[in-house]
């Protein structure tokens, strides 16, 4: 069986042989671009080359890029743990052409790598091409279709819509039609039983997308308009964990050598077994996934905090701790004990983890300690709220209550929503925002009132990340000092 580090290496070697420059991965935390908190694809660091704002020092490049998809346009958080192939943090293997080769060569390379180097059986592959979009006045991607017909039978080439086959980095920026490669890993028996069913891009866990070849032709402006770029580029991204799953003959990424060491250690620490009880399994997958996201983010300099990217890290950590507490029986910090596995696993490719291992462990441990202090009481409170709602035949946790859970017990609103969903309840999101807003006004007023006796040292405004996709400006903690 090919181990994951060999799989990664084969990718690098293949494209190096084809004159691609191996570029170092960018940090997972995106400090440069205010439109993007975290790196969500390998191409992010090349954005300026695509937009012609900077000349690329090489025309062909590759990278293996840690990505995080927990906010903004690409947010997979709710999938994680429930399914077996979406992660918050994953590695994207990518090759690029900056104004040099285009669709034909990109498709040829992808096909050669998958079928000749990795030896994936052709009859297990499907490809998709962009069908066009009337609203955007975009046409069918005929060139990709014609190219694919050279390699694969017509019935395995499917049309895809804008949602699946038009890649965009964010709300603005480089974008274009894409062609994806999907793998069918069902058993022969399942294939026969489900014959005739169209399963690509339907969320089927055994017919999954592994590689996306994006043909960057446009820049999406803030107005929503698409501007044709002067040069055409290739931007591809292949999910490393999914590729490894397929090549190792597994039906879940969590069964690959990327995740097994984590799962084993979670079993050891929790004295529970993976693969027997769905609730336990989900929690173990969540913990195994989230520790990677948190560790990579901290290693790249993003501490958990109450603002922006830091709050995303805190939310992920608290989500994992809650799963650990409720489903795995942890009552004291446990996540930090998994960092050593990642330090070891990635020491040759992302050495920043090993270099900062004890620091990362300390940060995570103290975050866990502080959340464990309020978690049990908060969950108890939520239990009580849910019982009262049930008795009254109601289903919605109102805004002030969700705010109380946030403010007093440190429950990020998405965590409250997750627990509420498990209990068949909803959260009044608008009411929550209102309560948050009110508190902001109150604290500003209090600050003004107290100014008579106190001297303001720092007064600053910063953003606090309070929901999946929204940034809310609130007054930063105002520090006072006696004159
Ligand atoms: P999906 O449809 O499965 O959500 P996607 O179309 O959103 O994937 P792309 O933006 O095309 O993904 O990213 C390129 C590749 O990265 C995908 O083909 C897939 O292999 C991998 N990938 C994307 N999202 C994830 C994720 N959350 N976890 C693991 N791998 C992912
Ligand atoms: Mg997706
Ligand atoms: Mg997709
Ligand atoms: Mg895709």
Q: Residue 479 pLDDT more than 60? A: no
Mean of pLDDT values over 13-42 = 93
The CA-based angle 81-83-86, given to 5 degrees, is 80
Q: Residue 447 pLDDT more than 90? A: no
Answer with the one of 410, 430, 450 that is the final residue of a domain. Answer: 430
Does 60 map to a domain? yes
Q: List phi, psi (to 5°) of 348.
A: -90, -25
Looking at the DSSP bridge assignments, the partners of residue 130 are 160
Does 483 map to a domain? no
Looking at the DSSP bridge assignments, the partners of residue 238 are 93, 211
Mutate to test the pocket of ligand 1, among 242, 288, 292 (most ligand atoms within 8 A of CB): 242
Answer with the one of 203, 231, 253 that is the final residue of a domain. Answer: 253
- The predicted-structure confidence for 285-297, as pLDDT tens digits, reads as follows 999 999 999 999 9
Cα–ligand 1 centroid distance for 174 (angstroms)? 17
Q: Do residues 118 and 215 share a domain?
A: yes
Residue 332: partners with Cβ closer than 8 Å, 6 or more residues away: 372
Distance CA 77, CA 180 (A): 22
Does 95 map to a domain? yes
Q: Residue 482 pLDDT more than 50? A: no
- The predicted-structure confidence for 129-142, as pLDDT tens digits, reads as follows 999 999 999 999 99
Give me the pLDDT at residue 464, please.
40
Give me the pLDDT at residue 197, please.
86
Q: Do residues 194 and 279 share a domain?
A: no
The model's pTM: 0.90
CB of 90 shorter than 6 A to ligand 1: yes
Cα–ligand 4 centroid distance for 40 (angstroms)? 12
Give me the pLDDT at residue 466, please.
38
Mean of pLDDT values over 65-84 = 93
Cα–ligand 2 centroid distance for 316 (angstroms)? 18
**In 10 A of CB 396, how many CB atoms?**
14
- The predicted-structure confidence for 178-215, as pLDDT tens digits, reads as follows 999 999 999 999 999 998 888 999 999 999 999 999 99
CB of 361 shorter than 6 A to ligand 1: no
Q: Do residues 159 and 292 share a domain?
A: no
Of 179, 290, 177, nearest to 238 (Cα)? 179
* Burial (CB count within 10 angstroms: exposed 0-12, middle 13-18, buried 19+), residue 39: buried
Does 458 map to a domain? no
Q: Residue 469 pLDDT more than 80? A: no
Secondary structure of residue 113 in the 3-state scheme: helix
Q: Do residues 114 and 238 share a domain?
A: yes
Distance CA 389, CA 451 (A): 42
Q: Where are the beta strands (DSSP E) in 172-310?
A: 173-184, 207-220, 226-239
Q: What is the DSSP letter of 117?
A: I
Q: Which two tokens stand for residue 453?
A: 């006796």
Give me the pLDDT at residue 478, please.
28
Give me the pLDDT at residue 85, please.
97
State CA 54 to chain mean position distance: 28
Q: List phi, psi (to 5°) of 102.
A: -130, -140
Does 438 map to a domain? no
Ligand that comes closest to the CA of residue 293: 1
Distance CA 172, CA 20 (A): 28
Give me the pLDDT at residue 474, please.
29
Looking at the DSSP bridge assignments, the partners of residue 213 are 179, 236
Q: Residue 453 pLDDT more than 80? A: no
* Location of structure tokens 């998405």: 414
User: To the nearest whole percent, how much of the chain has pLDDT over 70?
Assistant: 92
Which atom of ligand 1 is least distant from the CA of 236? 14
Q: Do residues 36 and 140 share a domain?
A: yes
CB burial of 445-478 (b: ≥16 within 10 Å; e: otherwise) equals eebeeeeeeeeeeeeeeeebbbbbeebeebeeeb
- Residues measured by CB to lie within 5 Å of ligand 3, the ion: 164, 209
Domain holding 318, by residue range, is: 259-430
Q: What is the DSSP letter of 38?
A: B
Look at ligand 1, atom 14, and give the residue with the nearest C-alpha: 237
Answer with the one of 430, 451, 474 that is the final residue of a domain. Answer: 430
Residue 12: partners with Cβ closer than 8 Å, 6 or more residues away: 22, 62, 64
Does 455 map to a domain? no
CATH number of the domain encompassing residue 11: 3.30.930.10
458 pLDDT band, cuts 50/70/90, is very low
Distances (CA, A) of 396 to 78, 378, 418, 420: 20, 17, 13, 9
Q: Do residues 106 and 46 share a domain?
A: yes
| Number of folded domains that form the chain | 2
235 pLDDT band, cuts 50/70/90, is very high
- The predicted-structure confidence for 332-378, as pLDDT tens digits, reads as follows 999 999 999 999 999 999 999 999 999 999 999 999 999 999 999 99
Number of alpha carbons in the 13 Å side-chain half-sphere of residue 431: 12
Q: Do residues 225 and 263 share a domain?
A: no
Of 315 and 34, more confident: 315
Of 190 and 444, more confident: 190
Distance CA 346, CA 338 (A): 13
Look at ligand 1, atom 12, and give the residue with the nearest C-alpha: 212
Q: What is the DSSP letter of 171?
A: S
Looking at the DSSP bridge assignments, the partners of residue 437 are none
Which atom of ligand 1 is least distant from the CA of 74? 7
Residue 312: partners with Cβ closer than 8 Å, 6 or more residues away: 37, 38, 70, 71, 297, 465
ipTM: 0.99
Q: Do residues 85 and 149 share a domain?
A: yes
Q: Residue 267 pLDDT more than 60? A: yes
1 pLDDT band, cuts 50/70/90, is confident
Give me the pLDDT at residue 73, please.
84
Does 185 map to a domain? yes
Mean pLDDT over each residue of the chain, to the nearest integer: 91
Q: Do residues 291 and 388 share a domain?
A: yes
End-to-end CA gap in the chain: 69
Q: Do residues 71 and 156 share a domain?
A: yes
398 pLDDT band, cuts 50/70/90, is very high
* Location of structure tokens 């017990």: 409
Look at ligand 1, atom 22, and give the residue with the nearest C-alpha: 239
Give me the pLDDT at residue 448, please.
57
Q: Do residues 24 and 10 share a domain?
A: yes
Which atom of ligand 1 is least distant from the CA of 243? 20
Distance CA 28, CA 31 (A): 9
Look at ligand 1, atom 6, and give the residue with the nearest C-alpha: 164
CB of 63 shorter than 6 A to ligand 1: no
* Least confident residue range of 171-180, 436-445, 456-465: 456-465
Helix (H) and strand (E) counts in the chain: 16, 17
Own/partner pairs for 439-447, CB < 8 Å, 24+ apart? 439/403, 439/407, 440/474, 440/475, 443/475, 444/475, 447/475, 447/478
CB of 242 shorter than 6 A to ligand 1: yes
Q: Do residues 324 and 220 share a domain?
A: no
Give me the pLDDT at residue 20, please.
98
Give me the pLDDT at residue 475, please.
30
Give me the pLDDT at residue 419, please.
94
CB of 76 shorter than 6 A to ligand 1: yes
Of 373 and 450, more confident: 373
Distance CA 82, CA 67 (A): 19
Does 51 map to a domain? yes
């Amino acid at each position: 069986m090919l181990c994951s580090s060999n799989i990664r290496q084969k990718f690098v070697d293949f494209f190096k042989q084809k004159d691609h420059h191996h570029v170092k991965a960018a940090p997972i935390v995106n400090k440069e671009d205010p439109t993007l908190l975290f790196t969500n694809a390998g191409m992010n660091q090349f954005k300026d080359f695509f937009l012609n704002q900077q000349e690329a020092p090489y025309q062909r490049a590759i990278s293996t890029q840690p990505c995080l998809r927990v906010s903004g346009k690409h947010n997979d958080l709710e999938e994680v743990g429930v399914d077996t192939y979406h992660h918050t943090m994953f590695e994207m293997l990518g090759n690029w052409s900056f104004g040099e080769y285009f669709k034909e060569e990109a498709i040829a390379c992808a096909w050669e790598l998958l079928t000749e180097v990795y030896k994936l059986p052709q009859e297990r592959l499907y490809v998709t091409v962009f069908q066009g979009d009337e609203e955007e006045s975009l046409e069918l991607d005929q060139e990709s279709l014609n190219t694919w017909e050279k390699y694969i039978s017509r019935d395995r080439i499917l049309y895809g819509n804008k949602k699946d086959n038009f890649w965009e980095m964010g709300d603005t920026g480089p974008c274009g039609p894409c062609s994806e490669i999907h793998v069918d890993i069902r058993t022969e028996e399942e294939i026969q039983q489900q014959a005739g069913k169209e399963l690509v891009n339907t969320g089927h866990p055994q017919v999954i997308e592994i590689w996306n070849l994006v043909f960057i032709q446009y820049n999406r402006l803030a107005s929503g308009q698409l501007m044709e770029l002067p040069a055409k580029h290739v931007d591809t991204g292949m999910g490393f964990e999914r590729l490894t799953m397929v090549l190792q003959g597994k039906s879940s990424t969590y069964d690959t050598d990327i995740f097994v060491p984590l799962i084993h250690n979670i079993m050891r620490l929790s004295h529970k077994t993976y693969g027997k009880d769905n609730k336990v399994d989900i929690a173990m997958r969540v913990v195994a996934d989230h520790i990677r996201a948190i560790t990579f983010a901290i290693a790249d300099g993003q501490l958990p905090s109450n603002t922006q990217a830091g709050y995303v890290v805190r939310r992920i950590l608290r989500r994992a701790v809650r799963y650990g507490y409720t489903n795995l029986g942890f009552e004291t910090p446990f996540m930090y004990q998994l960092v050593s596995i990642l330090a070891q696993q990635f020491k040759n490719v992302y050495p920043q983890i090993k270099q900062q291992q004890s620091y990362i462990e300390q940060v995570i441990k103290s975050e866990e300690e502080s959340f464990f202090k309020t978690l049990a009481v908060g969950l108890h409170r939520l239990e009580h709220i849910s019982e009262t709602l049930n008795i009254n035949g109601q289903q919605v946790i109102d805004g002030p209550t969700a705010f109380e859970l946030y403010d007093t017990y440190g429950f990020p609103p998405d965590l409250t929503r997750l627990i509420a969903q498990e209990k068949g309840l909803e959260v009044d999101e608008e009411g929550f925002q209102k309560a948050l807003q009110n508190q902001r006004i109150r604290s500003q007023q209090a600050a003004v009132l107290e100014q008579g006796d106190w001297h303001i040292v720092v007064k600053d405004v910063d953003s606090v990340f309070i929901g999946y996709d929204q940034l809310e400006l609130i007054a930063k903690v105002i520090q006072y000092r006696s004159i």
